[in-house]
Amino acid sequence: MKQKVIEVIKTCINKEVYLEKPKDVSLGHYATPVAFSLAKELKRSPVDIAKELAQKLQNETIFESVTAINGYINFKLSQEFLDIYGANVLEKGFYQDKKNGTILIEFVSANPTGPLHVGHARGAVIGDCLCRIGRHLGYKITSEYYINDAGNQVDLLGLSIFLAGCENILQQDVKWPEEFYRGEYIIDLAQKAQSKFGKDIFENESNISKLSAWGKDEMMELIRRDLDEVHISFDNFVSEKSLYPKWQKSFDKLQQHNKTYEKDGKVWIKSQEFGDEKDRVIIREDKRPTYLAGDIVYHDDKFDRNFDKYINIWGADHHGYIARVKAAINFMGYDESKLEVILAQMVSLLKGGEEYKMSKRAGNFITMSEVVNEIGSDALRFIFLSKKADTHLEFDIDTLKHSDSSNPIYYINYAHARINQLFGKSGKKRDDVLHIKLVGLNKEAQNLLFNALILPEVLEDAFESRQIQKLTDYLKFLATLVHKFYNENRIIGSEFEDRYLKLLEIVALCIRTGLILIGINAKDKM
């Protein structure tokens, strides 16, 4: 709708225009400051230019009124235009001009050494929603999970399972190392290993590598199940271990561009040249590649697949990795500006106003599955999208069990269910009101209709700015308008019943579409 308005204005005045929302909604649906940008070129007052352009645009049929105020031009859309636009939405859905471009979005990528925790969940939900909205907009999106299965952490998982088996199954006294994985899930893995391999597997340390490989696979299955609980799936799972045979190829590229050197028996990358705090080791004294080397070969593999854009969603603690990874991408001959990194801040949970206690199952963190069991997938997805990714998120899980406006997902679903209930009370179906013209509506109805029809603009803004909270905020705002309209207007039995029902069917479609794109199915009954 916004694009249509821009096209009409451009055709009339032959200038590029930018539209914004007036702070005072009574002024109109859109406004443009184009007169200010023309003032210098035309050497005239923006106030005079705005008045002249407003007069020129007054006769365009999509506008009910065009007014010039203090150099701004304000546009109020005609009810006839909104009616036509609304009819198209009911016929075709909230379609949009399709975007071109291929994007690889990598997210979660948690080490396969334990269950997903709530921090992983935030990045998981954000990444999944970017994929959903991006695909709706027409981008060709590939979602990817990078499995860190080649480092010391997988060896440590095997050792932890082995020692848990020695202690809990063989009943041996065990001296645990300073660093190990703890929690009931490790004991569970040891018991499963006994069922699969027999308790003899804990009698010889040579079996630790076998337990590492097996334990990693078991953890990946658990991670997949945890993700499935919140309706998240991936197009690709890429194993770090599977990429290491390609390391020499990536290393050769760095050497060809003279971006490595040897010092103290190690090989370093000249990442400081590209804004990193210091150069980084990529090959240790014992010739083993470092963790950074894994990132380098993985991004070489990524960029070799030739996407238009690459988005990584990392935890905030990975901030320092951005410069060094971008340096390596550049040093291998790629355009590092194609990589965008979104940092997801930590999550703090409360229960009844007090800090949420960690369970024994994970040992030292709160698992995603625990929270899902408490509040459900819908509430988890919504609340994890309710703030910008780089903002700390704190919420009380008890609030998300309330059946009132303090629980945003309940409040939005209730708006959708109310509309469904109105159709039930009227005895009418959707098809019975499709032919009705949405004209002669009061101001509240017109405002509700307009705000439902701007969903495509909200979706595009949310995706392009990578701020999904713009969609959740919008859905809460729209639900508020629905409840207000319901409480202040007689709908069933009024002379406007059919018009109101058609209007509300458009709103319901908007709510359903918005919720689907954040991974939630709207409820018809509450």
- pLDDT value at position 47? 96
- Tell me: the pLDDT tens digits for 18-75? 999 998 888 999 999 999 999 988 899 999 999 999 999 998 999 999 999 999 999 9
Q: For tokens 């109101």, what's the residue?
A: 500
**231 φ, ψ (degrees, to nearest 5):** 60, 45
Dist CA 162 CA 155 (whole Å): 11
- pLDDT value at position 361? 60
Nearest 5 degrees, angle CA 387-CA 232-CA 237? 115
Dist CA 213 CA 154 (whole Å): 8
Superfamily of domain 408-516 in CATH is Isoleucyl-tRNA Synthetase; Domain 1 (1.10.730.10)
Neighbours of 406 (CB within 10 A): 12
What is residue 105's three-state secondary structure?
Answer: strand
| Residue 474 C-alpha from the chain's centroid | 15
Per-domain boundaries in the chain: 2-77, 152-218, 408-516
Dist CA 409 CA 189 (whole Å): 36
Q: Could you tell me if residue 288 is left (phi over 0), alpha (psi between -120 and 50 degrees) or otherwise beta?
A: beta
372-401 mean pLDDT? 94
Range 464-469 contact pairs with CB under 8 angstroms and sequence separation of 24 or more = 466/130, 466/311, 466/340, 466/342, 466/389, 467/388, 467/389, 468/126, 468/129, 468/130, 468/133, 468/385, 468/518, 469/385, 469/386, 469/387, 469/388
Question: If we measure between CA atoms, which residue out of 257, 329, 336 comes closest to residue 292?
Answer: 329
Q: Which residues contact 55 (CB under 8 A, 6 or more apart)?
A: none
294-316 mean pLDDT? 97
Q: How many percent of the chain have pLDDT more than 70?
A: 99
Contact 407, 514 (CB under 8 A): no
- pLDDT value at position 204? 95
Domain 2-77 indexed as CATH 3.30.1360.70:
yes
Q: Is the pLDDT of residue 448 over 70?
A: yes
| Residue 261 C-alpha from the chain's centroid | 39
pTM of the entire predicted model = 0.93
**What one-letter code names the amino acid at 178?**
E
Range with the poorest average pLDDT among 172-176, 211-215, 381-385, 400-404: 400-404
Contact 112, 214 (CB under 8 A): no
Dist CA 437 CA 273 (whole Å): 64
Q: How many percent of the chain have pLDDT more than 90?
A: 90
H runs (alpha helix) in 169-207? 184-197
**Residue 357 has which token pair?**
């206690």
**Residue 231 has which token pair?**
């309706």
E strands along 247-336, which residues? 260-263, 266-269, 280-283, 309-315
pLDDT band of 231, cuts 50, 70, 90: very high
Helix and strand numbers, DSSP H then E, in the chain: 19, 14
Neighbours of 437 (CB within 10 A): 15
